Structure 1
């Protein structure tokens, strides 16, 4: 194994300790909620309080997502990520020692703040310190490690009490802090700050070689080009407010396209129903009447999502990120539609006892798709498609989008399932996933195997060509007006 691969593996392992902890925090309610109602925990929660405990973490994610406005471009990606470990450490201590619901609320919000910072900054850091060969696997590895965190909390959390689980989980952020502090800062960030000596040193370690002149020159060109764009659009982030900087940055065609891609891909994370389906899977299987223990079903879905994420890392370089999404999305649509059909028939009194295995089989297939494509691919894209001047707002927007969309879908599932039946939210998730599939086909490009510079050139060239085509069409309309008798809405 050469030094480059060895150092990139170290980066992947150490960075993703933070992501493992995010998986622990996201999965914590699934094995824990029943303990509050069956008398196995000294704290007692009503059903509404349980829902609040689940959703408050995502509120914290939204709050944490705002932190990079003040931190990422001032103290750097590295120190921002180190700062994210602190609320994570505090959260597990508070959750483990909590004696009432309010302490649990505080612990969950604090955990979410740490996750929000991690979700905003870590994809950017990975995208900037990884090589063209390793960027795809390292980017998709983020989701794999979230899934491993989910599986860990699903299995261990079923058999230990809340305090024991919290103390076990506490080891992960502490270990991250102790190891990540030795890794280098992003060379792109250092170049932006004109600290070329440190940038060169960072590149040498990250790439595992002594001569990095070519790579450093490429980064300088990227930064120089983006600084010129800043000047052209009067977009100096150090002198303008965040909102004004963001608005000016969006005047660049490539940035607009990057954000459009981001909103489509983040939709697969937050809008397709993964969070509520995983959170309420025990209820789903019980309603179907299938004779499988809830603990066993939780472990099955946990193992499935880990296997899927590992498969993604193995095949993403062969298939490509875009094609993997296009293959996975229709499978998810079909799986959700079949489960929705089953519960529709059940709701209308049709005898489906002989087919009560359908929900668990197709929920597991759907979870596999989530772990294979919907979770890892968006995270990999987010580390690649944004130019420097919009990395901070991009990270913030993506994390806020994830926090809000997940909170809404969890609450929507609860309300619709309680008032209309389980089939109703499943049909909605089916429709949303189908729409996202079409949008991915139309608007999401392939980035696998491309350098950061090549990706920016591709995004800007396509965007500029699209704008030129639109302008050309408008010019033709002025010269040759379309017949209003045939197209009455076009002037």
Structure 2
């Protein structure tokens, strides 16, 4: 008799629906690049007049404050109210933030808008991976999980395109559609089988698993794989209840050699991710090119960068299980240092009054290369390595802690990005980012173990 097998169609469908939230967060990340040149000009739509550089820095950095808070509360919300409801609640700040842009009268409206968008982003980066991991089959889990960064980058790219071709006042009305579309489509999805089993709702848990494995509710014709997965789900929940007392965290859990080294690597990778400067510059892409003297228009340059970033993050998902995490991080960090170093040299020569007209293509090439190579490693892989090197017992707390630090580092990088420009010039800021990237590359080369293809037990031995 032919072995029955379900369909993964609903897993792909659910992943697409939940990532509408990620695309919408990408809009918030990319919004500052095409919008700041308008807001800083005398054609600003704000009644208070053009925004100052200090106000602009706070508008940019407010995203990180919201992300920090969203990161802290999302784990608790997901366990208390479920993965589905938490994701749906994250769409509400996104709706409000675009309304804030529509009614904005001064910079404070836009600071609030970015805060709300960042809060939603903090929830996204905690809940979406959790939701996808708990609905996916092992054979496609990596593929589906990699869509989070891709879809966020897609949102940034769409924002750049809209900023170049659509009037400022029309853009928020268009972007409002995405969180509404997310709520409309995702509300029909069940919560994850694991969460429902954890809440002792065995019937709904089985119904959810049937939905995501492509078996109709109530049918007796299911595959042996489905039956085995359901048994494992029940056993995992039983084991969790039985060992919950043994799993209480103590101070000793954080001072083992494995834990100390994992925290050092985790914190360093989060700093590397932000202080290489790429995420900060992505928030000010149009401004960077306007100041650099590129021959291409600032907004068109941003579109090129967004496209390259998407391609780089896709390539990372293809190569991560082939080339390995460490090699990609080293190549990525070294590439960023090289690209931004050349970019710094160009802007320094321009500031000294040298004729650089024949090299006007260089800023776009250098920045494009830096963003492409960063998207292959430094901007994407620290989260993968973090999940693999942390001891299992403290992984939940440690991941939340490191992600919270990431938002703090992002706040520092974005808030003081414009201040670096004014203090050291474009060339000084780019050189600083280049040196930070070089330092991060050396750290990875000497301190971070290769985790490709290794079990958690083997990684624990390497980290001890």
Is this contact kept in 1: 2:387–2:399, CA < 8 A? no
The count of aligned residue pairs is 448
Q: Distance in 1 between matches of 2:15 and 2:377?
A: 19
Q: 1:283-332 CA distances to partner (integer Å, 9 max, x unpaired)? A: 44344433222122111112211222333344444444444334323222
* Post-superposition offset of 1:172: 1.0
Three-state SS of the structure 2 residue aligned to 1:152 is helix
Change (3 A) 1:366 1:287: same
* Post-superposition offset of 1:83: 1.2
- Specify the alignment match of 1:307 in structure 2: 311
Kindly indicate whether residue 460 of structure 2 is the aligned counterpart of residue 446 of structure 1. Answer: no
Three-state SS of the structure 2 residue aligned to 1:161 is coil
Which residue among 177, 180, 194 is the counterpart of 1:174?
A: 180
* Post-superposition offset of 1:156: 0.7
* Post-superposition offset of 1:348: 5.3
* Post-superposition offset of 1:255: 6.0
**Structure 1 stretches of 5 or more lacking a match?**
236-244, 467-491
Query: What TM-score comes out, normalization by structure 1 length?
Result: 0.80
Which residue among 365, 371, 395 is the counterpart of 1:367?
A: 371
Kindly indicate whether residue 38 of structure 2 is the aligned counterpart of residue 35 of structure 1. Answer: yes
Change (3 A) 1:413 1:368: same
* Post-superposition offset of 1:147: 0.9
Three-state SS of the structure 1 residue aligned to 2:306 is helix
Change (3 A) 1:377 1:179: farther
Which residue among 12, 28, 52 is the counterpart of 1:46?
A: 52
Three-state SS of the structure 1 residue aligned to 2:170 is helix
Q: Distance in 2 between matches of 1:202 and 1:262?
A: 34
Change (3 A) 1:28 1:249: farther
Is this contact kept in 2: 1:61–1:399, CA < 8 A? no
Please identify, of 376-385 and 74-83, the stretch whose mean Cα deviation from structure 2 is larger: 376-385
Change (3 A) 1:284 1:99: closer
Matches within 5 A, 1:463-482: 463=463, 466=464
Kindly indicate whether residue 11 of structure 2 is the aligned counterpart of residue 8 of structure 1. Answer: yes
* Post-superposition offset of 1:459: 4.1
- Specify the alignment match of 1:436 in structure 2: 440
Q: Distance in 2 between matches of 1:135 and 1:32?
A: 37
RMSD: 3.2
Change (3 A) 1:444 1:260: farther
* Post-superposition offset of 1:413: 2.7
Change (3 A) 1:207 1:439: farther
* Post-superposition offset of 1:368: 1.0
Change (3 A) 1:321 1:345: same
Kindly indicate whether residue 429 of structure 2 is the aligned counterpart of residue 425 of structure 1. Answer: yes
Matches within 5 A, 1:28-427: 28-43=31-46, 44=49, 45-68=51-74, 70-208=76-214, 210=222, 211-219=225-233, 230-232=244-246, 234-235=248-249, 247=251, 250=254, 259-347=263-351, 352-380=356-384, 390=394, 392-394=396-398, 396-427=400-431
Query: What TM-score comes out, normalization by structure 2 length?
Result: 0.84
Change (3 A) 1:174 1:399: farther
Q: Distance in 1 between matches of 2:207 and 2:462?
A: 35
Q: Distance in 2 between matches of 1:424 and 1:390?
A: 40
Change (3 A) 1:308 1:157: same
- Specify the alignment match of 1:485 in structure 2: none
**Structure 2 stretches of 5 or more lacking a match?**
216-221
